[in-house]
Chains A and B, each alone.
Chain A
Amino acid sequence: MAEVSVKNLGVSFGHLKVLRDLNLDVTAGEFIVLLGPSGCGKSTLLNAIAGLLDITSGQIWIDGKNVTWEEPKDRGIGMVFQSYALYPRMTAEGNLTFGLRVARVPKDEIARRVERTAELLQIKPLLGRRPSELSGGQRQRVAIGRALVRDVDVFLFDEPLSNLDAKLRTELRVELKKLHNRLASTMIYVTHDQIEALTLADRIAVMHGGVIQQLATPKEIYRRPINRFVAGFVGSPSMNFVEGTLRLAEGAPAIELPSGKRIGLGGYEFSARPEDGRPAVLGVRPEQMEMKPGDGGSALPIEVHLIDPMGADSLLWGNVGTDTISVRIGPDDTFEAGTAVEAWFQPVNASLFDAKSGERL
């Protein structure tokens, strides 16, 4: 069990500042997912924690020790990579034991750890094979095993499942979760796949432009995204945004669409007391809308374009003014293209953002 602390971390490649003044505290035993689009700095952050690149400023603490200038091997970490990074000329067993041999761990101790790890990951029959003789899933198991034999408390995962096909990915994802429950070690996991993030994480750090936008539980991220970027990035299909102006003067709060139509926001929990007349963006998830009135909800007027059948359900695509909107509907619901319909939602579930800053209101 070890906690990881990143303090005021800055990383630059030449003039390009990839990370600036970044802080992250991971408690012992926690599963943290760093989620973000490519180029957001999530892998850089992971590599900095691993000690694989030079940082420009800040400190990194692992297990109460300042390891900022320690070698990777001395940080008490294990790491798993996207391309597996197995040493091609060694057997699976050679891969597992390389680090231990480098560290001159006694032979019987190595054997004991390999035995235990192979047991845990069910890779015993693979130990004698070369990486080229293993399937993608088997390779990644061996790669995970290589991190496990190090007997460390912090594991770093750099998009470990991205190179696998969809079915294997789901399988290994479940297994990783079980592994975490069993080992109770600290895990930091980089991915751009939100399903992985939502299913695996105790907390998700959504990153963008080298900055952690929001660090919260998956539920919180999904329900109360802190800004427009997080709202748009998490969720599929992504959250609908409708632009308008905030009206607070006459009774209940509402958002006024460019067409003049007012959508009531009664029940929405404002983070701060906003002012009247502020340009704002209303965010509603496709699955939070219904095509029939619920109790006390508000309605968005939609012009229907087309219906996308997705199997278990369908997506209705339409317009609210100039904004494109999608609504999750039943697989058998039918709507004519070109007709005007109303989609109902509960304002308490919706999100409201400042039009300029994108911050949650």
Chain B
Amino acid sequence: MIEKDIDEQIKWAKINADVLRSMENPRRAYWITFFICIAMMACAVTAEIYQYNTGMGVTNLNNPHMWDMYIASFVFWIGMSHSGTLLSAILHIIHADWRKPIYRFAEAMTTFSLMTAGFFPMIHLGRVWNLYWVLPYVSDRGAWPNFRSPLVWDAFAISTYLSASMLFLFIGMIPDLAICRDNARGWRRKLYTVLSLGWIGSDRQWRNFRKTYLLMACFLIPLAVSVHSIVSSDFAMSIMPGWHVTSFPPYFVAGALYSGCAAIITLFVMLRYYFRFEEYMTVAIMEKTAKLTFAIAMVWTYLNLIEFASTWYGHDIYAKELLIAKAVGPYSWIFWTMLFCGMVVPFALAVEKFRRHMPTMFVVSLLLNLSMYFERWMIVAPTLSMSHDPHQWDIMWPSIVQWAIVFGSFGWFGLLFLVFVKVFPSVSMYEVKEMVFHRRRLINEDAAKVYSRRARDRKDATGEPELEGA
């Protein structure tokens, strides 16, 4: 039996009511998570104040290890941001309508993980108060940033991506904000009135809206690919063994999609539970997301293995030595955990029984993201510990300050996300309406065909199928 993505008989009024209710009374687990996130953030703020006042040395960074968990987390969070917008845009263009109940929170995830990622280059700077020197502004001293530096490309790419994905999220939300406006009271009504920009659902608005949304989706797909390629060039543009790898851009993009999809599954399970969205975030949609994640996991696995193979058969002795050191050196337990969680665990997604069991999917998705975090760390740290000059080989483990800030970044992300889902509709109401409308229409047309065929064949069918309105 083919399971439906959504029950197409849901009334439109019920969709409105359910989603609007989600903004009012979540389960208690929501508030528990909320306060845990605040506590996590407090850890990071304390650590950052200490680091800011004392100097970067408190992170245990040293001469060969100039970068560590901050940059790994930066890449991790940027990667996480890829799935939401990219998948939403791709699935929009190919008319895969099962994206509709889940794309809103996925896009919010994109925006917030970008906002989290953006902190890390700042936290990691030695003199963060001069950060604005990276921006290309006209200065009276005639000084410009160095446009050759991949870090400047990062600044360009991330600001473009952040604004584009925020706009994409916002534009897609305007019709829903109008619904909220019509149903809210108090401060919420004022907020939604401003944000819905006077949306009344006229044909002119819808026509322009459709075109704008499509154009934005078309911009976002190449943009998202380019952003993570540029992040990968932070490494690939250098000459360090293990960083100077030609296959890094696709490898990073695949890794980004992978961790993003895993994060979508995590948040899917959480939101489904918190807001009682069982009717919208259905098991069938979870299955589709899981299958997609599995496919991406296999792409990532392939690119990972191809990177090892090209290093192994290549002539770069530094890189080969580094690869061996990764596998048997002091960081080897991280390396093997990453490979196990990234290449073996995703096979759980291929089992239907696991895909349909929410707690299992929650654990699996967390393991996948653990693997992706380790992957980023394995890219950053071992290269620095073992580069060209053997005199400067060193093993370094991050200090508690780094751990606290990285830990807190999850709190910050969680906080933003939880506030978002409480203030804004986390399921797109108008698009779920479209989804059920079109599906109802399709099913009715199919049924009509079946009936009419029967009518011809048996001459005993009775009339047209019921064409019920909204």
Question: Do A and B associate with each other?
Answer: no
